[in-house]
Homo-oligomer: A and B are copies of this chain.
Amino acid sequence: AGADNDLYINQAIVFIEDAIQYRSINHRVDSKSLWLYRWYYSRTCQWILSLTITVILALAFIEEPSSLTVTSDVRFRLPAWNPPCGLTESMELLCFLVFVADVSVKSYLIGWKEFWKNKWLMAYILTLIVSLTDWIVSLSFFCKESVRIRRILRPFFLLQNSSMMKKTLKSINSTLPEMASVVLLLAVHLSLFTMFAMLLFARTKDNQQDKEWVVYFRNLPDSLTSLLVLLTTANNPDVMIPAYSKNRAYSIFFILFTVLGNLFLMNLLTAIIYNQFRGYLLKSVQSSLFRRRLGIRAAFEVLSSLKETPASAQQSCVSVGALLQVLQKAEMDSRCKQAIMRSLKMCSCDQLSAAQFQKLFEELDKDAIKQHPPSPEYQSHFMQKMQFAFGHPYFGYLGNVVALANIISICVVLVMDADKQPSERDDFFLGAINCFFILYYLLEMLLKILAMGLKRYLSYPSNRFDGLLTVILLILEIATFAVYGFPHPGWRPEFMGLLSLWDMVRLVNMLIVFRFLRIIPNMKFMALVVTTLLDLVKNLRAFAGILVVVFYAFAITGIMLFKGAVVPLGNTSSKAELTGSCVDIKVLYFKEKNVISWCSAHFQAEVIYCLLSVLCVHPICRWAKIYFVAWWLISSVIWVNLFVALLLENFIHKWDRRCQRESLSDIEYQRTVELMFRDVLEEPTEEELMEKLHQHPHLQLCR
């Protein structure tokens, strides 16, 4: 019976931990499995798993067709370092072994029956098998093989490890039918207008007159491309200029196309995605809530089967002692744990009913209300006055004014020095004002710490930001003085050592520019906007993850498709002048999958246009077109719209909340997607919970 009791306690601990993490409770519940389960979800294990995923994704940066060089210009750059065959491969094997362990533990824990229903796990195993096969093939060719499928599959490991990303992907997946309708409508729109354009701008006898035909509508693929690019607005006035020069009325065609396609259909896509996505996000958050309630209920049920509870009671209930035992062992946020303990002590009863039990854990759903530690209390009258003066908001405002003055003075120096040769510049003034302002910032920081006490000072994020910047500025300034001496008129030292003075001064000034941002929280509406943006960044992690997955897959595919398609500018002599900048961008795109991919969502319209026009002299033209149209659709159209949907959702909820709680603006809330929807969420009923519990594949409840 004691062993049984231990098992029940352990089960309850795991169920409560599941509830906290919004995990499913459908896993094995015998003693050994529970140990394995807690071990698997321990911080160390999860950290190792994350590290493995990071490593396998980062491998692309040093693998063979990599180009992690300083310059992107193919003419100047040195050949990138190629690791010897077997180095990256052995790292890959290590990663695969970790993944094999991961998938086996996961499969074992959910049990065979559940395993067959779980498509993500099946896909995981399939991916691993394909990757390992590809790895063996790769080694047997001594790394000389041309196609590596496993590199495209890599982002899957990132995807399958995050439940939030899986949920988001599910939401995106369910909006696909509606998106497909609009994309179909866009396709119909495009094809109708293409036919129309081909009829309108057909070849005429007068060769002078059909400039439009020659450049943009020579044949079907050309016409389609011209109009598709017009849809991205990249070739916007150019495409209509020849026709417009001939007759103004031709512009009606282009206006109609742009208004219908760009203004109506593209924005309709936004509306549809917003509309669909809103519903599904709410739904997924609702299912998270259900998981939490289910976990807590399961914990209650197993605790109520403990032998120590009196059998006489009609209703099942849980002794407070058992719960305390569970709480002490469970891993959870210390604030929540203390709050639950406190309310458990305040509740005088000895036994808890299911409703009371559930209510105790509602603390988990609450926003963390941040309380700042109190200011120190000084005895001296002088110190109290000092504290009042430097703890007053006006002192903060003075700091903002000084920061503004700093910005303006830097600006003035910049404008004055803009056109001067470096040798003509006199850095004395800049050095002097930097010195003065940094001293002021240091003084301000010290006085604030005096007034507020170090703990209270550090509890405000804005102060931490200020303090950190001040310290960095101070160190840089001292380093400058150490190397070049104090500023004096005509102070214009030459480049010295690793980091030149000019670089140093620039660095210091840049940091001061950032300090100016402290003004923002003092403006009411701007503060709202900025907090919305910060919230958005928190909620955006799942999105960003999916974006990384898509970008990575596209980058690897692009490298594979266009390997060798780019030749250094020296080789192509005549066309080089014309397509100079385009080739540069092409270089960015195909050979450099690294940093640049991150910003491509916005670069795309321009780049596609540029690339399509350049690539089409090359035999791989068709492939490039399909690749870039797919890229444009996914990265720009769909992803940007999803982003807008999330932003709209966030902002509108935030705004409504602001209107409700205008008075409570002092309290800082820490909000997540789950909390944003709290007012709208429905609590699951007892029947639903019990039905779900009885369907549990491994847990046999007594009743």
Identify the A interface with B (CB < 8 A). 69-73, 76, 177-178, 181-182, 184-185, 188, 192, 195-196, 198-200, 202-205, 218-220, 233, 236-238, 241, 244-249, 251-252, 254-255, 258-259, 262-264, 267-268, 270-272, 274-275, 407, 410-411, 414-415, 417-423, 502, 506, 509-510, 513, 516-517, 520, 523, 525-526, 529-530, 532-533, 536, 581, 584-585, 588, 592, 594-596, 598-599, 601-603, 605-607, 610, 640, 643-644, 647-648, 650-652, 655
- Contact status B602-A248, CB under 8 Å: no
Known: A264-B536, A648-B271. A71 touches B246 (CB 8 A): yes
* A134 CB to nearest chain B CB (Å): 30
* A476 CB to nearest chain B CB (Å): 14
A188 to B520, CA, bound (A): 10
Known: A199-B510, A411-B195, A595-B255. A643 touches B420 (CB 8 A): no
Known: A237-B588, A607-B237. A254 touches B510 (CB 8 A): no
- Contact status A233-B644, CB under 8 Å: no
- Contact status A268-B200, CB under 8 Å: no
- Contact status B526-A181, CB under 8 Å: yes
* Complex interface: chain B residues within 8 A of A263 (CB): 601-602, 640, 643
- Contact status B410-A195, CB under 8 Å: yes
* A408 CB to nearest chain B CB (Å): 10
* Complex interface: chain B residues within 8 A of A602 (CB): 233, 236, 258-259, 262-263
* Complex interface: chain B residues within 8 A of A254 (CB): 599
Residue of B nearest to A606 (CB): B236
Other A-B contacts than A237-B606, A255-B595, A259-B602, 10 sampled, CB-CB below 8 A, are A70-B249, A71-B246, A177-B525, A182-B529, A203-B418, A220-B418, A238-B606, A251-B595, A270-B647, A275-B655
Known: A199-B510, A241-B585, A245-B71. A255 touches B536 (CB 8 A): no
- Contact status B585-A651, CB under 8 Å: no
* Complex interface: chain B residues within 8 A of A419 (CB): 203, 218-219
- Contact status B181-A268, CB under 8 Å: no
- Contact status A241-B414, CB under 8 Å: no
Known: A71-B248, A245-B73. A264 touches B533 (CB 8 A): yes
A418 to B221, CA, bound (A): 11
Known: A236-B603, A251-B596. A245 touches B199 (CB 8 A): no
* A318 CB to nearest chain B CB (Å): 43
* A470 CB to nearest chain B CB (Å): 18
* A238 CB to nearest chain B CB (Å): 6
- Contact status B241-A581, CB under 8 Å: yes
Closest 3 CB pairs of A and B: A255-B599, A271-B651, A73-B245
* Complex interface: chain B residues within 8 A of A513 (CB): 192, 195-196, 199
A655 to B277, CA, bound (A): 13
A588 to B247, CA, bound (A): 12
Known: A219-B419, A237-B607. A414 touches B599 (CB 8 A): no
Known: A204-B422, A414-B199, A640-B263. A272 touches B651 (CB 8 A): yes
Residue of B nearest to A528 (CB): B181
* Complex interface: chain B residues within 8 A of A526 (CB): 181, 184-185
* Complex interface: chain B residues within 8 A of A650 (CB): 271
- Contact status B275-A72, CB under 8 Å: no
- Contact status B647-A244, CB under 8 Å: no
A270 to B647, CA, bound (A): 9
Residue of B nearest to A217 (CB): B418
- Contact status A529-B651, CB under 8 Å: no
| Residue from B73, B255, B268, B606 in contact with A233 in the complex, judged by beta carbons closer than 8 Å | B606
- Contact status A259-B599, CB under 8 Å: yes
- Contact status B648-A274, CB under 8 Å: yes
* Complex interface: chain B residues within 8 A of A238 (CB): 581, 606
| Residue from B199, B248, B516 in contact with A595 in the complex, judged by beta carbons closer than 8 Å | B248
- Contact status B198-A236, CB under 8 Å: no
A553 to B663, CA, bound (A): 44
- Contact status B415-A220, CB under 8 Å: yes
* A180 CB to nearest chain B CB (Å): 9
- Contact status B510-A200, CB under 8 Å: yes
| Residue from B203, B506, B533, B588 in contact with A268 in the complex, judged by beta carbons closer than 8 Å | B533
Known: A529-B182, A652-B275. A200 touches B506 (CB 8 A): yes
Identify 28 residue pairs between A and B in the complex whose beta-carbon atoms are under 8 Å apart, listed by A's number: A70-B249, A72-B244, A73-B245, A76-B245, A178-B525, A181-B523, A182-B529, A202-B417, A202-B502, A203-B419, A203-B420, A204-B422, A205-B423, A220-B415, A233-B605, A236-B602, A236-B607, A237-B585, A238-B581, A241-B584, A251-B596, A252-B595, A255-B598, A258-B599, A258-B602, A264-B647, A271-B650, A272-B651
Q: Which of A184, A249, A272 is most buried by chain B, counting CB atoms within 10 A of its CB?
A: A272
* A261 CB to nearest chain B CB (Å): 10
- Contact status A268-B71, CB under 8 Å: no
A274 to B640, CA, bound (A): 17
Residue of B nearest to A258 (CB): B602
| Residue from B245, B536, B599, B643 in contact with A251 in the complex, judged by beta carbons closer than 8 Å | B599
A216 to B512, CA, bound (A): 23
* Complex interface: chain B residues within 8 A of A198 (CB): 414, 418
Known: A414-B220, A516-B192, A529-B182. A509 touches B251 (CB 8 A): no
* Complex interface: chain B residues within 8 A of A237 (CB): 581, 585, 588, 603, 606-607, 610
A422 to B647, CA, bound (A): 54
- Contact status A270-B423, CB under 8 Å: no
* A657 CB to nearest chain B CB (Å): 12
| Residue from B69, B506, B525 in contact with A181 in the complex, judged by beta carbons closer than 8 Å | B525
A195 to B245, CA, bound (A): 41
* A391 CB to nearest chain B CB (Å): 27
A219 to B411, CA, bound (A): 11
| Residue from B195, B245, B651 in contact with A584 in the complex, judged by beta carbons closer than 8 Å | B245
- Contact status B71-A247, CB under 8 Å: yes
* Complex interface: chain B residues within 8 A of A195 (CB): 407, 410-411, 414, 513
* A159 CB to nearest chain B CB (Å): 22
Residue of B nearest to A70 (CB): B247
- Contact status B205-A422, CB under 8 Å: yes
- Contact status B529-A185, CB under 8 Å: yes
A638 to B76, CA, bound (A): 45
* Complex interface: chain B residues within 8 A of A70 (CB): 247-249
